[in-house]
Amino acid sequence: MLESNRRHWLKQIGLSVAGIGLSNLDAISAPIDLLAKDSANNLPIRLSSNENPYGPSPLARATMIENINISNRYNWELSTELIKAVAKKNNISTSNILLGAGSTEILDLVTRLSSTKKGSFLIADPSYSYWTEAAEKLGLKKITVPLTKSKQLDLGAMLTAIQSDTRLIYICNPNNPTGSIADRAELIKFINEASKKAIVLIDEAYIDYTSQESLSALAIENKNLIIAKTFSKIYGLAGARVGYAIANNKTIEQLSELKSWASGSISVASTAAALAALSDEKFVSEALSLNKNARQFTIENLKKLNIVCIPSNTNFIYFSLTNYKKDFFEQLKNNNIIGTKIYEEQGKWTRITVGTMQEMQKFIGAIQ
């Protein structure tokens, strides 16, 4: 009886996705033009946080709205369905997955697991580091390893930098803020060695913007390898907060024990949106194509301004302001554009998110 009720409930919440599937996808799956909307409301152009300017997908938006009505219920059944869908996408078992409120929660959980014994953690510099303050407060000492001259991860130097008390090694691939990507074969060699000494956390937030295969399959047998993935980027669900870890089932159990409710931190609406997003392949394909075109346009025009750029494998661009004579951030401010900061003082390296083509045209116009 309980299983029958469960199937009926899942059928009800799935009606929104099924209904959309019968409609004209050409009409609803074209990414919306947020620039026109923002301009009409005099809102700033946000080119700071590597968000997908076209998302959430039409299927995800419709499903999220539909399932707001069942937000009075806990997400038990929906979480189970999302875990199954994620497992199918990654060709792994459901026991190898833990859901989190964005990959941020996964990073936090891995940090907590690593800090059960005091020691150090290792990270490239610059890399995504917002989580590191919490790591230090938990008693882990931060060890940074500079990038190579070409702004690549220096895997050899990182391997050498591992100390006897190193508990965690963090790799963002592709790396944020540079947009560079490690050679997969070299990264696997690094993992095989580094994971003998510490937990290796691979953050694949931007892997969907590349043709490189995820390293998730390696984590199934390696108890010291954890892959963090997110719906925040290519799926356009940054504000919905949906992410997950892929790891050995014993490692997943260890991470789950650090939560009061494993996989329970995502709302019903966000879980439903993630389920729908996985099925909206048309949206993902279009978002990738639009990002590629806008990124290429931006890089070409930055080069015309004698601004040196790093080749990007993501939805953002890393470039040097050494040859730029104006006040870059003042130019952005005057044109109602939100940028980021200087990540490396030597060379004055900064990053810009790739928005819509119209947004990037306005960006280039602002700094010319």
Residues 243 and 287 in one domain: no
For the chain, the domain total comes to: 2
What CATH number does residue 255 fall under?
3.40.640.10
Residues 202 and 274 in one domain: yes
Looking at the chain, list the stretches that DSSP marks H as alpha helix, in order from N- to C-terminal side: 2-13, 15-21, 25-28, 34-40, 58-67, 76-90, 102-114, 132-137, 155-161, 184-194, 216-219, 249-256, 268-279, 281-304, 328-334, 357-367
Among the candidates 279, 296, 331, a domain finishes at: 279
Tens place of pLDDT per residue across the chain (368 aa): 444 444 544 554 454 444 443 333 333 334 445 444 554 567 899 999 999 999 999 999 999 999 999 999 999 999 999 999 999 999 999 999 999 999 999 999 999 999 999 999 999 999 999 999 999 999 999 999 999 999 999 999 999 999 999 999 999 999 999 999 999 999 999 999 999 999 999 999 999 999 999 999 999 999 999 999 999 999 999 999 999 999 999 999 999 999 999 989 999 999 999 999 999 999 999 999 999 999 999 999 999 999 999 999 999 999 999 999 999 999 999 999 999 999 999 999 999 999 999 999 999 999 99
Residues 246 and 349 in one domain: no
Among the candidates 279, 301, 329, a domain finishes at: 279
Residues 245 and 291 in one domain: no
Whose tokens are 């990007």? That residue is 312
Residues 296 and 327 in one domain: yes
Q: Which domain, by its residues, includes 305?
A: 283-367
Residues 264 and 193 in one domain: yes
Residues 143 and 270 in one domain: yes
Among the candidates 279, 297, 312, a domain finishes at: 279
Single-letter amino acid code for the residue at 295:
R
pTM (two decimals): 0.91
Looking at 138-180, list the stretches that DSSP marks H as alpha helix, in order from N- to C-terminal side: 155-161
Residues 185 and 102 in one domain: yes
Residues 327 and 221 in one domain: no
108 falls within a domain: yes
Single-letter amino acid code for the residue at 209:
Y
Residues 202 and 259 in one domain: yes
142 falls within a domain: yes
Residues 268 and 295 in one domain: no
Cα–Cα distances in Å, from 49 out to 32, 52, 177, 204, 233? 19, 9, 10, 16, 10
Residues 118 and 207 in one domain: yes
124 falls within a domain: yes
